[in-house]
Amino acid sequence: MPVTKAEASLLSRRTGMSIEDFTWKNDGILTLLNSATTKACVFLLTSSSDISAEGMCSVYEVRPQGCKTYPNVLSENDTAILDDGCPHRAQFPDPTEDDTIVLLNLEERLLRER
């Protein structure tokens, strides 16, 4: 999951972890690391590496914008779609034009920070 610098700073303050301990740079964009054990986001509380395993976000109150909008993601033609990789996508409504605008704004912020 990509995160802005401001979101990473907030997560760092809230968890006491240094930004380097929970992010890596994906093509220059700060991105949340996955746990080597669970294969899921380092902030997901789960004991299983199964992709559809139950889990709980340990930073829910300060989760990044991309987490709030997931499973909406941008398609290659810059339209919001439900992520094919989300095992629960059938439970979500189809994304709207407003969802596309939110994701485009987020993408612009992330690219500006590269």
Residues in contact with ligand SF4 by CB under 6 A are: 1, 32, 41, 43-44, 57, 59, 63, 67
| Least gap, CB of 1 to ligand SF4 (angstroms) | 4
**Cβ nearer to ligand SF4, comparing 56 with 90:** 56
Note if the bond before 64 is cis, omega within 30 degrees. Answer: no
**Cβ nearer to ligand SF4, comparing 45 with 97:** 45
**Cβ nearer to ligand SF4, comparing 22 with 95:** 22
- Which SS3 state, helix, strand or coil, does residue 22 take? coil
Residue in 107, 103, 86 with CA at minimum distance from that of residue 95: 103
What is the Cβ-side half-sphere exposure of residue 65, based on CA atoms within 13 angstroms?
17
Amino acid at 46: T
Report the C-alpha gap between 5 and 88 in whole angstroms: 29
| Least gap, CB of 96 to ligand SF4 (angstroms) | 21
In the numeric block, the tokens 């059938």 are attached to 90
| Least gap, CB of 98 to ligand SF4 (angstroms) | 21
**Cβ nearer to ligand SF4, comparing 84 with 97:** 84
